[in-house]
Amino acid sequence: MRRDLFTVVQLGASFAFIFSAFNSQGLIEVAVLRRKAETAPETGITTNSGYYSLSIIYFFFTFFNLVVPSIVKKLGSKWSQIIGASGYLFFMVTFLNLNVYLLYFGSAVLGAGAALLWAGNGCYLVEISRKNKMERNSGIMWAMLQSSMITGGIFLIYVLRSGDLSNSFTFIYVVFSAVIAVGILVLIFMPNNPAQYVSGQQNEEIENNLEEPLIPSEILESTAPPQSLGEQVRSMLAMSLTPNMLSLSVLFVYSGLEMTFYTGVYTSCLSATQALKTFSDLVIPYNALLIGAGQICGGIVTGALGKALKLRSQHIVFLAFVGHMIAFILAYLSLPNDSTVHSTDAPTILAPTLNLTLIISFLLGISDALWQTQIYVTIGAAFKDDPVNAFAIFKFFQSMAACVSFFYSSFLFLSSQLLILVVGCIASTLFFLKVKLSIQETIGGIEAVREREI
């Protein structure tokens, strides 16, 4: 295995550990804290504390993205990820001595750490990618990352078969903390300079068959002085106002909205639907397994399978569009409209069943994976000269949308949230096609100039 490919796998493994804990806790946080509001009122926790915690996470995530590029450039993409992941660990530890103020502070720390982690991750992935390998690498990393939904779901099923969320609370969060610590350890053993494995410095066995790095060597070797904070913000603003980035910002916002729905709102609706109480708390981990399976399938479709079937980005985004629209329609038909805000037995058009919820979960998982990997690929193609700023802008818009949507999820009924998602899905598909056409025209123009020069 090439050393650069091995490093991509290593990166995916570290994120699989970290997010097997964080994603799993995100699925149960609203339900867990609703129980704590009833059983431990002295903590100050309320029935909406789960939504508020998630909203705080993405609020701080949003605004730390304005300053994180200069930090990533100073620390390097590897150590930015390590420090950022430590924020996730701190957040998990706060649940072991739960009170409302510590919960919200831990949420803020996690939000700041997430900005570092994801900006560093996007930059590291671009640095380690050879030309035309960004799609493969992002697919591999995304499939491995989302395998965390499978392992997390299996863990929750194991725990909940012998108890419930309230009784197993401490054990669950001790395990989550330990798993994140393992993920950080994997990050520590990753190469400090991933670009060396792309340029061929450490690939003697294939030095006669080298491929061009995704990032031009003159950028990797640049010795330009670091920008001040003001210069950094101005450069981000200038990039965000370019036509391609303005169009992509619609995708970024939508990705935050749909991420909010499948990671928190949808599972809280399942927990609040009285018709599903037959399965007790197990309905959440069962659906986590199917979300994870969908995410892995999405990574496979955009990776090896996509290459074998010669799927283009346009095909993949169309599949994501169809998957999300079907999932939103089924959710509207089968879940009570008021299940977003409280436990309910309100009638629905279709009877909510476990099998139907599993279908919705799979569609949400695979569609999200298709969208996310195409966003990574598109950013890598359109902004390879400055990937740190580009990924920071991506996470700024995504986390801002998640912050707002987690907040309105505490009072907005399901039908209104699904309407927002449907409009966002349609708009995102159209703007993605616009950006893709623009990139193809730019590449075609560059190739035409080269041919004339030759």
Q: Which residues pair with 213 in a beta bridge?
A: 130
- Per the CB < 8 A criterion, the answer to whether 185 and 17 are in contact is no
Beta bridge partners of residue 273, listed in sequence order: 344
Residue type (1 letter), 384: K
Given a cut of 60, is residue 212 above it in pLDDT?
Answer: no
CB atoms within 10 A of CB 366: 27
pLDDT at position 209 is 43
- Distance from C-alpha of 431 to C-alpha of 255, rounded to nearest angstrom: 13
Confidence of residue 442 (pLDDT cuts 50, 70, 90): low
Average pLDDT over residues 206-219: 44
* More confident site: 444 or 327: 327
- Rounded-to-integer distance, Cα 162 and Cα 87, Å: 31
pLDDT band at 439; cut points 50, 70, 90: confident
Q: At what angle do helices 169-188 and 77-94 cross, to 10 degrees?
A: 170
Find the mean pLDDT for residues 364-390: 85
pLDDT at 67: 83
CA pair distance 140, 15, nearest whole angstrom: 12
Closest CA to 364 of 422, 294, 438, 282: 294
Q: Which two tokens stand for residue 389?
A: 């700023």
87 has a pLDDT exceeding 50: yes
Read off the pLDDT band of 1 (50, 70, 90): low
pLDDT tops 60 at residue 380: yes
CATH number of 3-196+235-453: 1.20.1250.20
State pLDDT tens for residues 160-191.
Answer: 887 777 778 889 999 999 999 999 999 999 98
Our CA angle for 9, 369, 415, nearest 5°, is 155
Q: What is the DSSP-derived secondary structure letter of residue 264?
A: I
pLDDT of residue 447: 43
Question: C-alpha dihedral over 398, 245, 444, 138, to 10 degrees?
Answer: -20
pLDDT at 319 over 90: yes
Q: Give the separation between CA 310 and CA 208, rounded to whole angstroms.
A: 27
**What per-residue confidence (pLDDT) applies to 215?**
46
Please provide the average confidence, as pLDDT, over all residues in the chain: 84
Q: Which pLDDT belongs to residue 332? A: 97
- Position 225 scores a pLDDT of 57
pLDDT tens-digit readout, 118-155: 888 888 888 887 766 776 787 788 778 878 888 888 88
What pLDDT score does 223 carry? 46
- With a pLDDT cut of 70, the percent of the chain lying above it is 86
